[in-house]
Amino acid sequence: MNKRILVIYYSQTGQLSDVVRSITAPLQQSADIELVFECLRPLKPYPFPWPFLSFFDHFPETVHDQPQPIAPLASPLDQPYDLVILAYTVWFLSPAQPVTAFLQSNEAKQLLHNTPVITVIACRNMWLMAQEKMKQHLKRIGARLIDNIVLTDPTHSAATFISTPLWMLTGKKGPFLNGLIPAAGVSPTAIKNASRFGDAIAQQLPTRAVEDNRPILRNLGAVNISERLIASERIAIRSFRLWGTLLRALGKPGTLLRRAVLVLYIIFLLTLILTVVPVSAVLKRLFAPLMKKRIAAQRQYFAAPSGE
């Protein structure tokens, strides 16, 4: 009997769709595997490119897990799947709203309960806190996370701090300023090479026991942990939660008072990124020799279950 895989994803720019196609290409060629694709559909489509204030106005609800609703799934719910591949992008250090909406649905409980799940992330470079939230959602509905794949923008954080917002706000990946700012997004080579994960799944899944929770993608470089971003992400997520609480108390998205305070928050956020985050990174580097064991433990934790 063929193994059935459900692939669930939401791609606003198209980049994650490319990643999903690369990973699943070997699976589509396997005679032992049946693939079902489910692209999540927000009832009110999100704009792309984003208007500037609209982009930031979505962060309070994103961080506090209050997503806009999505349409019912088109995939059948009455048959079990042997594996679910759940691909998502990161919004404000959280899973994108359509993915959170799915995870909060009764459909997710029915499809993912006691089912092996491989998460796939394509983002700028900060994904640790988003995956922590993903783990909480999967644990709540009884899913079994067996692997995690992460593809990130390979350029320096300082460049992506400019290139990624430009991509979101203009719809153009770049490069910008005659090449001074490199093109945003995951590299085409990395996307192409992601097919190795599909190869591993195609080789192992057909003979894999239903109750097996071991990772399939060990030693394939499924994730890469940036030590200097761990502290930065923790600082940023606290800021998002605090300001998100304040902005939600001021009204619904789009209201005048909320947007006025949102402008103040954007100024605060830029100041935080330009001051506190670099200082935190420098301090962590200075104290790194004294924290080798702790850093090693952090790397191992965040790299699980697939490992670096």
Beta bridge partners of 126: none
**215 close to 149: Cβ distance less than 8 angstroms:** no
Q: Considering the entire predicted model, what is its pTM?
A: 0.93
- Most distant CA pair in the chain: distance in Å? 59
Q: Residue 136 pLDDT > 90, yes or no?
A: yes
Q: Name which residue leads in pLDDT, 278 or 263.
A: 263
User: pLDDT tens for residues 242-273?
Assistant: 999 999 999 999 999 999 999 999 998 888 77
CA distances from 235 to 126, 213, 231 (A): 12, 33, 6
Average pLDDT (7-22) is 97
- Averaged pLDDT of the chain: 92
Distance CA 292, CA 227 (A): 11
**223 close to 298: Cβ distance less than 8 angstroms:** no
Distance CA 301, CA 221 (A): 15
- For residue 121, the surrounding DSSP H or E stretch is strand 116-123
Distance CA 198, CA 23 (A): 5
Distance CA 254, CA 243 (A): 16
Counting every residue written for the chain, the total comes to 308
Backbone angles phi, psi at 144, to 5 degrees: -115, 100
Distance CA 308, CA 305 (A): 9
Assess whether the previous peptide bond of 305 is cis (omega < 30° from 0): yes
Q: Name which residue leads in pLDDT, 18 or 279.
A: 18
User: pLDDT tens for residues 180-206?
Assistant: 899 999 999 999 999 999 999 999 999
What is the model's pLDDT at position 275? 77
Average pLDDT (278-298) is 75
What is the model's pLDDT at position 277? 65
Backbone angles phi, psi at 192, to 5 degrees: -60, -45
